[in-house]
């Protein structure tokens, strides 16, 4: 049976007025992936696929409500932290700890990224929001990669192996490296 693994998480404070946001918000980004999806490095090493994603966003109460909903997956063993089983209560405690010490540098780590069909209405509106478009072809389908030009991390490649020399690069929506 497959399950989702959360490897690490970070909480960002989105202050009132940040890029037009009304009210203070919290954004929890997590690095995770399925236990049964792997990819090979050019050297032949098999690694689990991981990616950064936004797992929870909203006011403090909204984020806690989402955490309680997600914590139910821990009970059914379909969500694990670092590959180990965790109780729903421990998952909620972890979320509260993240909310207690949010990072204030969201603009350095968060960017908006989307891949849409060539005729999608977002493409025409992208320039209004300060976004950049790059055409791409994926599996024979013509797509347009839309990303925010407001941060430097949006298209900055991140090595799959931290500190390694792997030639595999990802374009994460959330860029994070532990210091």
Indicate whether 163 pLDDT > 70: no
Helices in 48-167 by DSSP H: which ranges?
Answer: 60-75, 88-100, 106-109, 121-125
Average pLDDT across the chain, whole number: 78
So where are the chain's domains? 4-104
Digit-coded pLDDT (tens) for 21-67? 788 889 898 999 999 999 998 999 999 988 888 889 899 999 999 99
Burial class (CB in 10 A: 0-12, 13-18, 19+), 74: buried
Q: Where are the alpha helices (DSSP H) in the chain?
A: 60-75, 88-100, 106-109, 121-125
Q: How confident is the model at residue 129 (pLDDT cuts 50, 70, 90)?
A: low
105 vs 90, residue with greater confidence: 90
């Amino acid at each position: 049976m497959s399950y989702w693994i959360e490897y690490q998480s970070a909480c960002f404070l989105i202050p009132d007025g940040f890029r037009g946001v009304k009210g203070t918000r919290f954004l929890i980004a997590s690095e995770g992936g399925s236990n049964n999806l792997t990819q090979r490095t050019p050297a032949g090493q098999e690694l689990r696929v991981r990616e950064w994603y936004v797992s929870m966003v909203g006011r403090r109460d909204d984020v806690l409500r989402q955490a309680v909903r997600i914590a139910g997956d821990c009970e059914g063993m379909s969500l694990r932290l670092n590959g180990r089983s965790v109780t729903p209560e421990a998952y909620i405690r972890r979320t509260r700890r993240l909310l207690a010490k949010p990072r204030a540098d969201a603009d350095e780590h968060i960017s908006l990224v989307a891949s849409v069909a060539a005729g999608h209405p977002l493409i025409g509106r992208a320039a209004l929001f300060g976004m950049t478009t790059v055409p791409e072809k994926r599996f024979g389908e013509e797509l347009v990669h839309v990303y925010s030009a407001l941060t430097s991390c949006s298209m900055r490649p991140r090595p799959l192996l931290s500190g390694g020399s792997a030639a595999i690069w990802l374009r994460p929506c959330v860029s994070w490296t532990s210091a």
